[in-house]
Structure 1
Amino acid sequence: MQARRAHLELVYENVDITADLQPHLANWSYTDNLSGQADDLQITLEDREQLWAGDWMPEKGAKVTAKIIRENWEEDGKTDELALGQFELDEIEVGNPPSAVTIKGTSIPESSSLRGENKNKAWEKTNLSVIAGDIAGGASLELFYDTEDDPEYDRIEQTEEYDLAFLQRLCNDAGLALKVSDSQIVIFDEAKYEQQEPIDTIIRGQVRITGYSGRTTLTGMYSSCRVDYHDAEQKESIKYEFTPDNPPKTGRVLVVNERVKSVAEAERLAKKKLRDANKDGTTFSLTLVGEIKYLAGLTVNLVGWGKFDGKYIITQAGHGQQSGYETKLELRKCLEGY
C-alpha cells in the first residue's frame, strides 16, 4: 500500500514554484467563506538560510494561484485535486525563533479600488445587478449574479463609501449574500443554496472525526416578521406578517419599516429579514481528516449526532496541513419554509 500524501501546488505570477517551496514548507492553510468575508491563503516557511526573508521574498500585490493535490488518498495510484483560486499577496511576516516567514494572500485584491477609497456616485432607474456590474468592472473583476432577485431603485446613492462596503450594504438590505473569490464578485441567495441536494452524509462513527462541537440558541431569534410601511405621498399603508412552520419558541416579532411597493414585495422582504435573523439558530463545527469535496455553499447531512441531526450548509471550509492534512467545517442548519 502506497503512503497517503497531500501537498500544496503554488503558481506565483504564472511561474510554478511548488518545488522551491517543498523543502521549506512548515504549514499552510486555506479558508473558504460562504459570504461577508474574504477567502484567504496562508503559508509558513522555515527560513534558517534567510532566503525567503531575502532574495526570495515575494512581492506584495503579486498574484498566486493554488491547488491542493492528494496522492493515494482514496486508492493507490490515484491523484485528485482541489483548485483554490487566485489570491493577491497582501502581508508578509518574519520571525525567530524558529526562523520563519509567513506569507498571506486574500481573495479581495488590495490593488483594486474595492476597499480603501471612499467614492460618491448615484444611479437612477436601475437594478442591483447593474450596480454590481459597474463596481465589478471598475475593479477588473467578473460578476457572477446567481439569483433571480434583482431589486429595482428609482435612485440610489453611494456617499463617501468604499465600493465593497456600499455593495455589501445593498445586498444586506436585499437579503442577498456577497463574496469576492477567484477574481469574481459573487452575489447569491443563501436560501437557494440551502435547497441544493447534500453532497455527503457525515455519519458519526463512520467518518474520521478528530473534533466537533454544536450549539443551538434562542438568542436573537424571532417567531415572525412584520413589514409595516406607510407611504406618505401615496397615502397608502402596506402590511404583511410572515410566520414560518415550526417557528422558534420565542414571542419576539421582528418589525421592519422599509419601503415596499406591494404585498408580494412585503412578503419577500419579511421572509428574507426573518431568515437573516434566525439563520444561526443551530450551528455545528467538525474537524476531520483532509477531504477536498467540502466547500462553502455546499450542503451536507449529519446523522448520528442526536438532536443535531439534519441538513446543514457549509458556511466555512478550512483546509490545511501542519502534521497532516485536515479539513475544518463550520456548518449552519438549513432553514425550511423561508
Structure 2
Amino acid sequence: MSIQATWRDMSWEISPQRIASLGEISTETEVKRVSDSTSGQSKITGRELQRLSIRYFTSFEAGGNPREEYKTWESKIGLYAPLRIAGSRFGPSNFQLRSAAIDDAALDTQGRIRSGTISLEFVEYADQISTGDMEIIYQGKDIYPDISVKACEHEMHAESQADSLVLRFNDTSHQWDSWSVEQESTIEVIEGAARTGKMYIYDVKPENGVYTLKAFSIPPTSKNRTSKSWEMVYFRQLCKEIADRHGLDYEEHGVTDRLYLYVVQNNEPDFVFLDKRCKLEGCSFLVFDGKLVVYGEREIEATSPQMLLQLNTDAKFTYSDNTAKSYKAAEIVNGTRTGTYSAATQSGSRVLHKNITTPMYSDGEADRFAQNLLRLENKNQQTGTIDWDIQRDLAPGSMLQLKTFGVKSWDGYAFVYRIRHDYMAEKSKIFVRKPLNY
C-alpha cells in the first residue's frame, strides 16, 4: 500500500483495494498590497491566504465509489486540517475545504455514477494563519519586538510534571538587563493557535549576549512544604484547598468525590502530596494558565478521540511494548488491612505487592487503592512517540485515533500524555500510550 496524501480522514492511495492517486494539484501564494494615499503607491503589508486546488479521478473499477466520495467531501466543507503529502505537511498549518464538485461523471444503465473527477478547493485557514510573528507577553507587555528569539520550546504534561518553557533570545534592544525579574514574574508565548498559558519564570541566565529563560506552569510557591491534617474530608475539598493556596482556579473532569475519615500531609510540598492522593484514586492533574485541572484517567481515556492521525511508512514513529512486564493483580498492605484487585483483561500471572504508608479505613477503600495502583504500574506498558509537523491545537490529556501503515497493532485509540512543541522548527513530538480498560 502507498499513501500519497492525507487530509483529515481522507486519503489518496494506491493499494490492492483502491487506486485513487493525487491527480492535479495547484497552489498559489502572493503578497498583499494596499494603496498608500500619501505617496499614491501601493505597499506590501503581508501576504494573501494561500489557495490550493486538487483534482483526482475515481471509479468503481479502481475500487472507488464516486458518488459516496463526493457526498463525503461535501459533508466536510468548512472543516480544516493539515494537508500531508508523502508524510510531510504541505503548505500552511491548516487548509480549509471551501468547495467540492464532481465533473465528467459517467453513468451506467442503472443510473449509478461509475466514474468521475472530483475537484476540491481549499484556502489557508484564516484563524490559523501565522504572520511569522509570535507574541511573548512578559508581565502583561509584548516584548517580542524588543528581542530576537533563537529557540522556543514548550513541553506540556498531562500528569506528574509541570509544563515547562525554554526560551533563548538576544536582547536586541538592550532592555532585558534593565528589567528586574522578580520571583513569580509571568510570561506567556502565543504562536498562532498555540499558547503556553501563564507561566512562572524560575531562571534567567545571560551568556555572551544570549539569554536563556526557563518557566513553569506551577507557581514558585509550589516548593513550600506544608503540614496539616483533616478529618471527614472529601477528595474535591483537598484539591480545591491546594488550588486556593497557590492562587489557581480549579476544574475537574470525570472525578468521583471520595470521603476520607482522616488525611495527613506531613511536611511535603502541596503538589507532591496531591500527586500521591490522585494516584490512589486513579486520577491525574495538570496546571495550565493559572488553573489546576484534575481528571479521572479511566473516564478521560473512554472519551471520543479529538482527531485522527494517519501515519504512513515515512512517518517517524517509535513504540515500546512492555506487556510482558505487566501485572495481573495487586495486593496492597497497610498495617493489618490488605486491598486486592485482579484485572480480568490483563494477561499473565504477576502480582504487584506493595506496602503503603497511607491508612486504609475500609475494605472497599483498600480494594479501590489496589485497583488504581495496579493501573498506575501498567498504564505505560505500551507507549509510543510521534515526530510530526507542529500540532498547535493538540493538548496533553486528549485522545487520538491512530492509523498506522507500518505498525498495524497500534491502530485505534491512544492517550496523549506529553507533547513538546518546537515553535521555531514548527515541529511537535507527541508521546502517547494505549489506554487501559480498568
- 2-structure distance, mates of 1:29, 1:107: 14
Distance 1:93 1:327 in 2: 26
Taking the aligned partners of 1:317 and 1:42, their CA distance within structure 2 comes to: 14
Aligned length: 307
Gaps (5+ residues) in structure 1?
Answer: 70-80, 232-236
Going from structure 1 to structure 2, the CA distance change for 1:312 and 1:95 (only over 3 Å counts) comes to same
Q: Tell me the equivalent position of 1:35.
A: 159
Equivalent position SS for 1:149: coil
Contact 1:44 1:103 (8 Å CA) reproduced:
yes
Structure 2 counterparts to residues 43-62 of structure 1, below 5 A: 43-47=167-171, 51=174, 54-55=177-178, 58-62=181-185
Q: Deviations over 1:126-167 (max 9, x none)?
A: 112112222221221122233332232222122221222222
Residue matched to 2:386 = 286
Aligned amino acid, residue 147 of structure 1: G
Does residue 222 (structure 1) correspond to residue 327 (structure 2)? The answer is: yes
How far apart, in 2, do the equivalents of 1:67 and 1:251 lie? 49
Residue 228 of structure 1: how far off its partner (Å):
6.9
After superposition, give the CA deviation of every residue in 1:277-303 in whole Å (9 maximum; x if it has no partner): 110011110111112121101111221
Aligned-residue offset at 1:306: 2.5
CA contact (8 A) 2:327 2:378 kept: yes
Secondary structure of 1:295's aligned partner: coil
| AA of the residue aligned to 1:196 | T
1:309 aligns with: 411
CA positional deviation for 1:319: 1.1
CA distance in 2 between partners of 1:240 and 1:122 (Å) = 27
Aligned to 1:253: 351
Report whether the alignment pairs 1:170 with 2:258: no
Kept after mapping to 2: 8 A contact 1:60/1:91: no
CA distance in 2, matches of 1:281, 1:83: 31
Mapped partners of 2:184, 2:333: distance in 1: 48
Q: 1:52, 1:313 → 2: CA distance?
A: 43
Q: Aligned partners of 2:183, 2:241: CA distance in 1, in Å?
A: 27
For residues 190 and 242 of structure 2, the distance between their equivalents in structure 1, rounded to whole angstroms, comes to 28
Q: Is the 8 A contact 1:62 1:89 kept in 2?
A: yes
Identity fraction in percent: 21
Q: 2:258 aligns with which of 151, 156, 160?
A: 151
The 1-side partners of 2:163 and 2:338 are apart by: 40
Aligned pair partner of 2:423 in 321, 329, 332: 321
What amino acid maps onto 2:287 in structure 1? V
Q: How does 1:1-338 map to 2 (within 5 A)?
A: 1-2=28-29, 4=92, 5=130, 7-21=133-147, 24-47=148-171, 51=174, 54-55=177-178, 58-69=181-192, 81-96=193-208, 99-110=209-220, 112=221, 114-115=222-223, 117-205=224-312, 209=315, 211-218=316-323, 220-226=325-331, 240-245=340-345, 247-248=346-347, 250-255=348-353, 259=360, 261-263=362-364, 265-304=365-404, 305-322=407-424, 324-336=425-437, 338=438
With normalisation by structure 2, the TM-score equals 0.64
> What's the TM-score once normalised by structure 1's chain length?
0.81
After superposition, the C-alpha distances for 1:198-251 in whole angstroms (9 at most, x for unaligned) are 112222229x84x321111136410123467886xxxxx776542232x13x32
Cα 1:61–1:269 change in 2 (3 A) is closer
Cα shift at 1:107: 0.5
**Post-superposition CA distance 1:176-214 (Å, at most 9, x none):** 2122221122221111111111112222229x84x3211
* Partner amino acid, structure 2, of 1:279: K
Instruction: Specify the structure having the higher radius of gyration (Cα).
Output: 2
State the Cα RMSD in Å.
2.6
> Does the 8 Å contact 1:238/1:260 carry over to 2?
no
- Higher normalized contact order (CA 8 Å, seq sep 6+, divided by chain length): 1
The code of the aligned residue for 1:202 comes to L
